[in-house]
Amino acid sequence: MLPRPLHEIQTRNRLDQQTEEWKRRYAIRAGVEATLSQNVPAHGLRRSRYRGLARAHVQHVLTAMACTVARIADWIDTTPRTRRRDTRFRTLCSATA
């Protein structure tokens, strides 16, 4: 059990999390976190090949551009990536759409 002051802070924070303004701000953070979790293992975003802030910045900008191009290519290309059959549920959803 938390001490009373901490419990009150926690309760206030949980109430704040129900507001639309908090959800809007958190959605932005969630998008940034998703982008980082995609690019860190795939492109080694946490380590720079270069020394110096300017060169490291160029590397990060080029990595971000490559990620954007890859996302656009995935969005345009609608061919399935696997040879597995569609599930019955997916076939049903495709038929009703």
| DSSP code of residue 2 | -
pLDDT in tens, 16-33: 999 999 999 999 999 888
Candidates 57, 59, 79; CA nearest to 67 is 59
Q: CB-based contacts of 60: which residues, under 8 Å, 6+ apart? A: 45, 48
pLDDT in tens, 29-65: 998 888 888 888 887 778 888 899 999 999 889 988 8
Is the pTM for the entire model greater than 0.95?
no
